[in-house]
A and B are shown apart, each in its own frame.
Chain A
């Protein structure tokens, strides 16, 4: 229970220990703790940012998908329309071609008919001339009555 020199010695050692703690122990550990705190805060912030970005990206992706679907639908619609058009065109073309062919065939038929008629007419004229010759014999000269016979043939 005696108070003696120990008090002074303890006081000095106490001061030295406090000084030591203040100089070498507290600051480095505190610094590490602060740094870790900052690091964790940064990490959390980065994670949040990442999440936000992901959300944005997802949104963008959804938008893109939607757009792409729309475009695809448009393209399909266009293609269908175009196909219909092509079919229609083909139909029209075919009809036109058919008409043309029919017209051409008709014209040819007419031509052939006319030709045949002409030939027939000539043949009838010849026959008429031959018949008249046979009937009239001598009196009628083929050369002299050519125009009459031709006119006759034309009337047939």
Chain B
């Protein structure tokens, strides 16, 4: 076990570092060998583990749903089709419940977000050391130092992933706000509320205040959306890592840790589903707001 050679904080640090590909200090391109190196790479670096798992999981989701879509017919559904139809009906009900406009984009978007977030969160239930360990072995075989092969399995604990999704939703909010209300309408919504006045002198002042308030309101949407998911999953992952630390503390502590891990995993099943559900519900509500003339 890694913890026998490194300290607990190093162990945690190791688990919280992504496999980052970017420009190394010596000027060549390659994997970051430490968290500090990964940080030093700046913006022009990419988290290979996050990319691999998020795209892989989305591919699994799309593969199954694609299969279901090909087999779907008005007849009696079975197996995969049945399961996919169940999910789709759930999404459809959610969208119909909160989204009162006509947009063929929203429901598929929500389905994608839900399935993707759920699957990414689900990776949290895989024992924390299992896949990083395998990755380290493979990395060792490929000539890298196994202790410096970083591998984060849960993509939703990478803020890049959650921010990217929230940003995608945010772009759609802006796009539909402007499309439905027009540029003027959208700006009017940002500046004309919540303070209104007929006084021409007060009006510009109010507009500035409104813009600040509504601007914060608008910016808060993607930030809260992504940080809520990221925070929950990051904290959950952290607790799994802390529990995993117990395994190096002897038989008694290890057994206790095992029981604790089981309990936390069962509880986490609720968390991962809930987080996926909250994400889609807020997405629907935000997009509904973007389509409505007034808040």
Binding site for B on A (CB under 8 A): 1-11, 13-15, 17-18, 20-22, 24-33, 35-36, 38-39
Contact = CB atoms under 8 A, between A and B. Distances in A.
B269 interface: no
A17 B116 contact: yes
B165 A14 contact: yes
B160 A29 contact: no
A147 to B, nearest CB: 132
B176 to A, nearest CB: 14
Interface of B: 16, 18, 20, 22, 38-39, 41-47, 50-51, 54-55, 58, 62, 65-66, 68-70, 72-75, 77, 84-85, 88-89, 92, 104-105, 107-109, 111-112, 116, 158-161, 163-165, 167-168
Most buried by B among A29, A30, A35: A29
A9 B69 contact: no
Contacts of B58: 13, 17
B104 A22 contact: yes
A7 B55 contact: no
B63 to A, nearest CB: 10
B72 A28 contact: yes
A26 to B, nearest CB: 4
Nearest to A28: B69
A88 B58 CA distance: 103
A2 B18 CA distance: 9
B88 A33 contact: yes
Contact of A26 (B73, B75, B88, B116): B88
A26 B111 contact: yes
A24 B168 CA distance: 20
13 contacts: A1-B159, A2-B39, A4-B22, A10-B164, A14-B112, A17-B112, A18-B112, A22-B105, A24-B66, A25-B66, A25-B68, A26-B111, A33-B88
A7 B85 contact: no
B108 A25 contact: yes
A25 B72 CA distance: 10
B72 A18 contact: no
Given A6-B51, A6-B160, A18-B109, A11 B44 contact: no
Contacts of A36: 74-75
